[in-house]
Amino acid sequence: MSQWRGRALRGCTILLVLGLLGGGIAGAQPAVPPTPTVETRAVPGQDVKQVNAQGIIDAPPHVVRAVVADLERYPEFMPYVKESRILGRDAPGQVLNYQRLSFGIPFVQDRHYVIRITERGYRDTDRRRAWAVTWRLEDGLPPRASPDAIRVSVNSGYWDLRPVKGSDRSTDTRYCVLTDPAGSLPKWIVGMANTEGVPQIFAAVASAAASPRYAALPPPAEEGDLAERPPMGDCAEPAR
């Protein structure tokens, strides 16, 4: 019985952390799902580990960027996301976003949080267009936030989306996340779910990028004043 409970708890936690990391996205399945390289490292002062991943998504960077940035549609295609509200745009390229995640699992409460997302276009070493999207947890919750949900205690990271060397049709995708769903979940299970969940995140984003909604998007107009890649900082505290 204890072994069954352990498997059930692990499965529930993986679903929970998948939601915090981004969940799966409905859409056409890519012919060959990306297989990212995933590494973890301990972060001083944190009970959970930072997760870093790198992989190739078979879609142009502007398409992958569109999937990642489509916050208001998250409840339509992102499992577990029941609310995703844009609370404000404080500056060009900055969005304040509230999300509530619901898992439909007995005894697992909803999670919610507010994050500040900062997007910057830049030029890679070959002067091709790329995007850096960072986020960090903000204090507080908005009005009308669910009183029964648990506020996530840690959630920061980034997407770094750049063209593959020698090709504009695939994206060299770098992903970093440090997240803790809070509550009474054991930290070692949270860490395991983080590591196992990241490849599914890559597959989900690739699937959405292959769907007609995003795949047909034209490249954005060229901007001549884009700088080189901005400093991303550490995943545990993305550059502000």
Give DSSP secondary structure letters for 184-220: T--HHHHHHHHHHHHHHHHHHHHHHHTSHHHHTPPPP
Comparing 106 with 97, the larger pLDDT belongs to 97
Cβ atoms of 108 and 118 within 8 Å: the answer is no
Mean pLDDT of 14-21: 55
Q: How far apart are CA 111 and CA 76, in angstroms?
A: 18
Number of domains in the chain: 1
pTM: predicted TM-score of the whole model, two decimal places: 0.82
Does pLDDT of 49 surpass 50? yes
Which token pair is 1? 């019985």
d(CA 209, CA 60): 9
Cβ count within 10 A of residue 136 = 20
- Locus of tokens 């205690």: 153
**C-alpha to C-alpha distance for 13 and 43, rounded to whole angstroms:** 21
* Domain around 229: 2-238
More confident residue, 202 or 189: 202
What CATH number is given to the structural domain containing 45? 3.30.530.20
pLDDT, greater one: 151 or 182: 151
pLDDT digits (tens, 9 = 90+) for 104-115: 777 778 889 999
> Judging by DSSP bridges, how do beta strands 37-41 and 50-57 pair with one another?
antiparallel
Across residues 111-130, what is the average pLDDT?
Answer: 91
**pLDDT confidence of residue 213:** 94
Decide if 95 contacts 71 (C-beta within 8 A).
yes
DSSP notation for 66-112: HHHH-GGGHHHHSTTEEEEEEEE--STTEEEEEEEE----TT---EE
131-145, 170-184, 218-232: which has the highest mean pLDDT? 131-145
